[in-house]
Amino acid sequence: MEVSIILPSYNRYPLNLLSLYALENQTFDLSEMEVILIDDASTDQTEVLKEYQAPFQFIYLKTTQNIGLAAARNLGVKMSNGKVIVFLDAEMIVDPNYILNRYRHHLDKENVVVIGGKRSGKLYTYLFPKYGKKQINDLAYLVKMKSAVKKRIAKSINKKVNSKKVRAIIKKLKHPIQLLNQEDINNFQQLDLFTVKKDDDLLAFLGGDLETSPLAWWACLGNLSMNRSFFDSLEGYEEAFRGWGPEDAEFAYRLYKAGAKFVSEPALIRYHQEHEKHKTLSEEDDRNWLLFMEKHPDLSVCIRDLSFIIMKMDYTFMDNILRESLTLKEEYDGKYEKFEHSLIMFLKEIRILKSQNKPISHLMQSSGIESDAMTKQLIFEERDEIESYGKYTNLVELFDLLTRI
């Protein structure tokens, strides 16, 4: 078996069925491809998929209790036989050449990780009663701009529709309404009509710089592929993350540290089927990110928390900071450890304060540095010495920003 596709799924029926239909259309040799769907103790109708008849080898596994995304992915890989592992979210619709365009990158290099292309979007295959504001706005836009969508919705609900009526229609729904079926999935080119484009600002920033940018692993989330042997060398996803959390980011970080060569394949096309949004469990998210930072107290991990104090993710600023940090370590071999450690402490403190619903302010005091006069003096002396070199301006700017908060 050449390729194993791992689909962890929790309460994603019938979207996961449409995803399977898309995999039936792959141009890759289906006899060399298996799909393993891990039903993570779903409470919906996902279990009907155990009777699904596929043109490829299909394995349905249902856990007796919810084990979480990391453990579900690891279980899928454990049960797999493929030389190449493709991780795919259960609600993703992919183009017919998707697996083939991934597979060819893994033929001659062990450490290649394919992270996807720039072309993606939000696909509306169903109308759900609990769609959020952004999703309702998306649908209103599609109804206004694309007559095919307007006609399909009108036919599905047996009522006339216009963009101004979309919100009222969604709010009155008692159950999901299907818009697209297997025939539509088979006509992949037409799916674009039901899609709202979704730009990936990070991939746009990285461009062709995936090999050198210290931010490259940030783009390695969710839908990726690699050789089975490379996955095994990292011992899989970290299962200590429970609930909502960064298990994919933590795995991506370890891939980066293990020397992964990240590849963005522009030919890959994937659509995310929109579903009802559940409230993000902020408490779980914060707890898991703090665990991530405890496991890997690295500036490239902790610097993400800048997003809580600046208006927009400034990838140029962050990339420059991390490049300067690497250069500083290479040139001075740990001479400025107190300075670097203070940056990590401040950034972690941002997450701690957020998790406690406290204002993000006075980081010097809350981190304990302000009360330790000797440590504070040494840190600021290192800061001034680093500034004197004249080539670590972004690192110094970050330090000054955090100490002023």
Number of domains in the chain: 3
4-19 burial code (b ≥16 CB/10 A, e <16): bbbbbbbbbbbbbbbb
- The stretches of 178-269 forming alpha helices (DSSP H) are 182-186, 201-206, 228-233, 247-257
Q: What is the pLDDT of residue 235?
A: 96
Instruction: State the sign of the Cα–Cα–Cα–Cα dihedral 215, 219, 220, 224.
Output: negative
237 and 377 co-located in one domain: no
- Give phi and psi for 99, each to the nearest 5: -70, -40
Give dist(CA 132, CA 111) in Å, integer: 40
The answer to whether residue 291 is domain-embedded is no
Q: What is the pLDDT of residue 280?
A: 60
Two structure tokens written together for 268: 């890959």
Query: Quick check: 282 and 254 in contact, CB under 8 A?
Result: no
Any residues with CB less than 8 A from the CB of 245 and at least 6 apart, and which?
284, 285, 287, 288, 289, 291, 292
Two structure tokens written together for 259: 């020397």
The whole-model pTM stands at: 0.93
Q: What is the pLDDT of residue 221?
A: 81
367 and 224 co-located in one domain: no
Give dist(CA 345, CA 50) in Å, integer: 49
Query: Quick check: 35 and 57 in contact, CB under 8 A?
Result: yes
Q: What is the pLDDT of residue 281?
A: 62
Regions of the chain where pLDDT drops below 50: none
The answer to whether residue 118 is domain-embedded is yes
The β-bridge partners of 37 are: 7, 60
Query: Quick check: 262 and 115 in contact, CB under 8 A?
Result: yes
Query: Quick check: 11 and 44 in contact, CB under 8 A?
Result: yes
The answer to whether residue 270 is domain-embedded is yes
Q: What is the pLDDT of residue 188?
A: 96
The answer to whether residue 304 is domain-embedded is yes
Q: What is the pLDDT of residue 118?
A: 63
Q: What is the pLDDT of residue 96?
A: 97
The answer to whether residue 191 is domain-embedded is no
220 and 367 co-located in one domain: no
List pLDDT tens digits, range 192-217: 999 999 877 888 888 867 888 999 99
64 and 111 co-located in one domain: yes
The answer to whether residue 168 is domain-embedded is yes
Parent domain of 369: 297-404
334 and 382 co-located in one domain: yes
Give dist(CA 11, CA 279) in Å, integer: 15
Q: What is the pLDDT of residue 279?
A: 62
The β-bridge partners of 227 are: 84
Instruction: State the sign of the Cα–Cα–Cα–Cα dihedral 303, 304, 310, 312.
Output: positive
- Give phi and psi for 50, each to the nearest 5: -65, -15
50 and 151 co-located in one domain: no
Any residues with CB less than 8 A from the CB of 219 and at least 6 apart, and which?
115, 200, 202, 203, 206, 210, 262, 264
151 and 40 co-located in one domain: no
Query: What are 165-173's contacts with CB under 8 Å, separation 24+?
Result: 166/136, 166/139, 166/140, 167/136, 167/140, 169/127, 170/127, 170/128, 170/129, 170/131, 170/136, 170/139, 171/129, 173/127, 173/128, 173/129
The answer to whether residue 253 is domain-embedded is yes
